[in-house]
């Protein structure tokens, strides 16, 4: 008898195989690349450049490039975003004398870091809101206890890749300043947020005291992150990076791939955001035409090149329909679905990148109809 674990593993293998064989997809999947393919895409502008040692060379060049893009005095490379933010928030707690961090309960440190803020760094969190949206300035002003740092995840991924309006972001920062608090941006996906804000990366980063950015999310790097801010903050962060075990001997593969992503993918992100809005509209039209009893595209107009789709079916049924669509037609529309909502309602995240730029409203509606026919 096959148990649920075996079925999940089988689905995962079929998803990867179908994705690799597909002729049409909205984006690639991080699970589909092979070691050989990743190595083949790793090139050095100067192959004779000395390899980095403990963060010099190409790693230092990447740090300077990030600081330049974000308009900050300095930036430090970290092996993971989790470590970068742990260090940033710990540094601010030490400087403010207040270990309380105000952040959303759906933010990455609360959902995906196994309680590390408290267990590792001795910090405590408070939540301006528990609603699945960005907090409001009034909620920040009315928090009943002092907090040393306000952390804003831009965009708030688990709530639907949601961003505040530019004016709302300015007011959120002002509300934190009124509380004598530091402002830190979790900008793992900040790169693609400039379209929604109508501002440059440097203008967005200038609102905060520190910013974390990811190199594998959106940019397609192998791994790694950066923490950007003032010279003194970054100098302190480098000390804590060493204490946390992040002073890695050689990191040139991650640094080279990050620089390549900044060169090739960063300029293309606005086109991905625009195309995501085309795809979202076509999906709405397809679901309405098919008479699906209940569905949601969230947000209705995507804030970035990623958004959520909600349908009234069990997650495994939806995942299996997507696999069959890919295996039978060579088209990947949706990948894995999850039961993150009420019983009988499931959600998937749609990511539109370079492969999705060729999709038209007509081809998107046709793919959606073919998917629904397999439910």
Residue-wise pLDDT for 112-132, tens only, equals 999 999 999 999 999 999 999
Mean pLDDT within 290-319: 97
Q: What share of the chain is helix, strand, coil (3-state, %, to 5)?
A: 50, 15, 40
**In which band, very low, low, confident or very high, does the pLDDT at 360 lie, cut at 50, 70 and 90?**
very high
DSSP, res 310: E
Q: What is the mean pLDDT of the chain?
A: 96
Tell me the pLDDT tens digit for each residue of 133-149: 999 999 999 999 999 99
**Residue 103 pLDDT exceeds 70:** yes
Q: How many residues does the chain have?
A: 375
Q: What does the pLDDT average to over 294-310?
A: 98
* Each residue's pLDDT tens digit, 68-93: 999 999 999 999 999 999 999 999 99
The CA angle 242-247-252, to the nearest 5 degrees, is 160
State pTM to two decimals.
Answer: 0.96
The DSSP output letter for 93 is H
Contact 100, 157 (CB under 8 A): no
Number of other residues whose CB lies within 10 A of the CB of residue 141: 15
Rounded to whole angstroms, the Cα distance separating 190 from 213 reads: 7
pLDDT bracket for residue 4 (50, 70, 90): confident
Closest by CA position to 161, among listed 195, 137, 138, 129: 195
The tokens for 78 are 């970290």
Q: Are 372 and 292 in contact (CB under 8 A)?
A: yes
pLDDT at 2 over 70: no
Any bridge partners for residue 297, and if so which?
A: 309
Instruction: Give CB contacts under 8 A, 24+ apart, made by 29-36.
Output: 29/335, 30/216
Task: Return the sign of the alpha-carbon dihedral for residues 135, 137, 141, 146.
Answer: positive
On the question of pLDDT at 1 being above 60, the answer is: no
Q: Read off the pLDDT band of 5 (50, 70, 90).
A: confident
Pairwise CA distance, residues 171 & 194, whole Å: 17
182 contacts 90 by C-beta, under 8 angstroms: no
Mean pLDDT of 223-247: 98
Q: Which residues pair with 214 in a beta bridge?
A: 225
Other beta carbons within 10 angstroms of residue 230's beta carbon come to 13
**Residue with tokens 């990050």, as numbered in its chain:** 258
């Amino acid at each position: 008898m096959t148990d649920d674990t075996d079925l999940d593993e089988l689905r995962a293998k079929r998803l990867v195989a179908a994705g690799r064989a597909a002729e049409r997809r909205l984006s690639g999947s991080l699970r589909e690349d092979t070691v050989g393919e990743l190595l083949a895409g790793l090139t050095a502008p100067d192959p004779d450049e000395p390899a980095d040692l403990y963060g010099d060379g190409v790693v230092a060049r990447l740090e300077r490039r990030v600081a330049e893009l974000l308009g900050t005095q300095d930036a430090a490379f970290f092996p993971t975003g989790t470590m970068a933010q742990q260090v940033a928030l710990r540094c601010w707690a030490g400087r403010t004398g207040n270990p309380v961090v105000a952040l959303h309960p759906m933010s990455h440190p609360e959902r995906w870091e196994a309680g590390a803020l408290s267990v590792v760094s001795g910090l405590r969190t408070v939540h301006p809101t528990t609603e699945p949206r960005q907090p409001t300035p009034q909620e920040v002003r009315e928090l009943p206890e002092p907090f040393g740092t306000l952390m804003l995840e831009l965009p708030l991924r688990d709530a639907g890749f949601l961003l505040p309006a530019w004016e709302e972001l300015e007011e959120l920062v002002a509300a934190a300043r009124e509380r004598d608090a530091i402002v830190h941006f979790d900008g793992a996906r900040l790169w693609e947020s400039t379209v929604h804000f109508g501002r440059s990366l440097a203008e967005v980063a200038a609102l905060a005291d520190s910013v974390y950015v990811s190199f594998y999310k959106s940019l397609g790097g192998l791994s790694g992150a950066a923490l950007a801010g003032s010279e003194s903050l970054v100098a302190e962060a480098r000390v804590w990076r060493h204490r946390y075990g992040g002073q890695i001997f050689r990191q040139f593969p991650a640094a080279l791939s990050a620089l390549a992503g900044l060169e090739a993918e960063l300029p293309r992100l606005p086109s991905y955001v625009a195309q995501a809005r085309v795809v979202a509209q076509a999906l709405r039209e397809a679901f309405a035409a098919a008479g699906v009893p209940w569905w949601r595209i969230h947000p209705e107009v995507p804030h970035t090149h990623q958004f959520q789709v909600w349908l009234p079916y069990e997650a495994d049924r939806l995942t299996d329909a997507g696999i069959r669509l890919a295996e039978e037609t060579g088209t990947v529309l949706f990948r894995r679905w999850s039961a993150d909502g009420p019983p009988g309602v499931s959600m998937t995240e749609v990511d539109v990148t370079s492969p999705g730029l060729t999709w038209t409203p007509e081809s998107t509606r046709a793919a959606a109809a073919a998917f629904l026919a397999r439910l």
